[in-house]
Structure formats: structure tokens, C-alpha cells
Amino acid sequence: MDRVPILRLGDCLLVTVQVDMHDELAMTLQDDLTNKIVATKARGVLIDISALEMVDSFIGRMLGNIAAMSRILDAQTVVVGMQPAVAITLVELGLSLPGIRTALNVDAGLALLRKVLDRSGEGSYVD
Amino acid sequence: MSIEPTTLPVRSGEDVVRVRQAVRTLAMDLGFSLVDQTKVITAASELARNTLTYGGGGEVRIERLNDGPKRAGVRLTFEDRGPGISNIDLALTDGFTTGNGLGLGLNGARKLSHEFDIWSQPGVGTRVTITRWK
């Protein structure tokens, strides 16, 4: 069965979605990522969707679920690389991805994660 | 896609991906802008999933419309013989769902289309037709 690879990058996990995901694959990614956060004690998750040509309500819900589950497992999620046409379509569809941090690309996403993780390391409540 | 209209099955998650790809190929061929391509692909994805999840599977007819030189378009007709929709107005309300989705699919597809038509009869099935012009 197909799987989306999850790479470890220090205390973060990097997911690059390269294929047009069918729904079962998206569900598998959600499960795999949750397990991997626990197994690696990752503090951050970076999801690169620059190769995705569309995000519909199902994929949008999956991204929201990943962000929510990560947060419960004490990890922060940043979604990066959304194509402009995808962003325009998402908003018109009525989906604004509440609760999901975004950044323009992987570099900016890693920098944002670093900032968020450094802050949460101070022992104060964040989010 | 050289021969149109085409009818594709919508019976699995992989079929939904194939529908998206076929719609993309046609929209590109018709010279849709990237944003318009994305909108019609996204609408197709929502409706294909509805056909699969709520209609128990069905099929989609993909048509190329050429209504004059400047008016090219894509028309998609999704049809299933599932349980049907008893209250179409309610089904078109954002946030309403009988499944476990966000309840944005049907109305989302309508918002992303220029023309939208729905026919449904409980116990018989559902047919949704959308058109997006270039």
C-alpha cells in the first residue's frame, strides 16, 4: 500500500506530499504521523503541500486533524507551500483552515517552528 | 482526453483521483487559467466524494462545452442510485452533514461553479450537474 514518507529533522518531522492523495492515503498519513510523533518525541511537524494542485474539504479536514492531534501530543504543526490558486479556491469553498499555522515555504516554516518551540520551552502556556 | 463526453466510474478513492485528473486534463486543454482549473478540479473532487460516500458509488459524465469561440466550458454530471437526499436545502447548508465531513462539499461545489443543478429522490438516487465556463 502507498504511504507518504515522513522524514525526521532534529526534533521535527517533515512530510512532503508529492502525490495526488486519495482519501485512504490521507487517512494513513494522519495515523502514521500521530504514531511517529509519539515514537520520536517530535516537537514540530512541517507539512509541505507545494506539490498539491488542490485541497478540498477532505484534505483540509485532514490538515486540521493533524494540527489538533499534534497539539494534544505536545507538537506544533506548520503547513507550508500552498499554491496561490489552491488558497484562492479554499477560501471560495468556505474553508479557511482555522487553527493551522502556515508559512510560505519550508525555510520559513522551520523558522516559525523554531520560534514557537523556543517560546514553549520557557514553560509558559502557548496556544 | 480525446473522445468526449467521457463517463468514468466513481466507486473507490482511486476513482476520485482519476476523476480529478480527467477534469484537469480537459480544463487545461480548454485553456482554463490555473485558478479556474483548480476551482473545477476541487468542485469535481467534492462531488465525486459525495457520490462515493453518500451515494454508495456511481459515475460521472465529463463534457466539453463549446458555445461559441470565447465560451468554452466543462460540464460534469455525477449520478448515483443511492438513498437520495430528502431535504436538498438542508444538504446545501454549509456545515450540515450526515457523514463525518465538514458539510462543505455540496455547497462548496456550487460556489466553485457557474451553474449548478441538483436532482434527488429518496430511494432512487441523486444527480448533480455543474458547469464552469472559461
- Cell 437526499 maps to which residue? B85
pLDDT tier at B2 (50, 70, 90 boundaries)? very low
Q: Residue A76's beta-bridge partner residues?
A: A44
Question: Which of B2, B6, B15, B14 minimizes the C-alpha distance to B75?
Answer: B6
pLDDT at B91: 86
Contact B94, B76 (CB under 8 A): no
Nearest chain B CA: its distance from A124 CA (Å): 33
pLDDT at B90: 86
Looking at residue B11, its amino acid is R
pLDDT at B1: 42
- Cell 463517463 maps to which residue? B7
Q: Which of A54, A57, A60 sits opposite B41 (nearest CB)?
A: A54
The fold adopted by the segment(s) B6-133 is Heat Shock Protein 90 (3.30.565)
C-alpha cell belonging to residue B4? 468526449
Tell me whether residue A11 is in a domain: yes
| A positions 7-26 inside 8 Å of B (CB) | 20-25
Tell me whether residue A1 is in a domain: no
Test A54 with B101 for CB contact under 8 angstroms: no
Of all residues in chain A, the percent with pLDDT exceeding 70 is 94
Structural domain total, chain A: 1
Contact B47, B109 (CB under 8 A): yes
Question: Which of B4, B5, B35, B37 minimizes the C-alpha distance to B21?
Answer: B37
The domain locations on chain B are 6-133
Tell me whether residue A126 is in a domain: no
Pairing of strands A76-80, A6-9: unpaired
> Of A21 and B43, which is predicted with more confidence?
B43
Q: Does A89 touch chain B (CB under 8 A)?
A: yes
| B positions 114-133 inside 8 Å of A (CB) | none
> Of A94 and B15, which is predicted with more confidence?
B15
pLDDT at B124: 95
Contact B5, B63 (CB under 8 A): yes
Q: Could you give the ipTM of this predicted complex?
A: 0.87
| B positions 44-83 inside 8 Å of A (CB) | 45-46, 49
Pairing of strands A44-48, A76-80: parallel
Pairing of strands B115-121, B125-133: antiparallel
Q: What's the CATH number where A92 sits?
A: 3.30.750.24
Tell me whether residue A127 is in a domain: no
Q: Which of A84, A89, A94 sits opposite B39 (nearest CB)?
A: A89
CB-based contacts of B75, cutoff 8 Å, min separation 6? B62, B63, B65, B129, B130, B131
pLDDT tens digit string along A56-90? 999 999 999 999 999 999 999 999 999 999 999 99
